[in-house]
Amino acid sequence: KLSFDKLTNVSFTNTFHGEDQPVHLKVLDMALQKSSEHDVFDGPSARYCPAGVYEWITEGDQLKFQINAQNCIHCKTCDIKDPNQNINWTVPEGGGGPAYTNM
């Protein structure tokens, strides 16, 4: 059984989103995140995102879909390439995008 996990605080692309920013990525239908071709969990969002924002993780015997929104570099590839238009991508308000840092 699949369940939607809360956002976690993972960052590995040297981007940072302020804690007060609303989440700008929303998956509309979780079932479409599974790949029908390969019978593995690498649906369009996970396959095209260059920043590891969409991730399937296992916790015990549960498989969870995690959105690491703070890793997003705002390339919009997941939105453009997804044939199902399953990602609701909201542009952050002015100044609310990623801040690139030297880590």
Site residues (vs ligand SF4, CB under 6 A): 25, 48-51, 53, 72-78
Look at residues 18, 5, 12, 21 and name the one whose alpha carbon lies nearest to residue 71: 12
Supply the minimum distance, in Å, between the C-beta of residue 1 and ligand SF4.
25
Beta strand 25-27 with 62-67 is: unpaired
Supply the minimum distance, in Å, between the C-beta of residue 94 and ligand SF4.
18
Query: Which one, 40 or 80, has the nearer CB to ligand SF4?
Result: 80
In terms of Cβ atoms closer than 10 Å to its own Cβ (0-12, 13-18, 19+), residue 77 is middle
Supply the minimum distance, in Å, between the C-beta of residue 93 and ligand SF4.
16
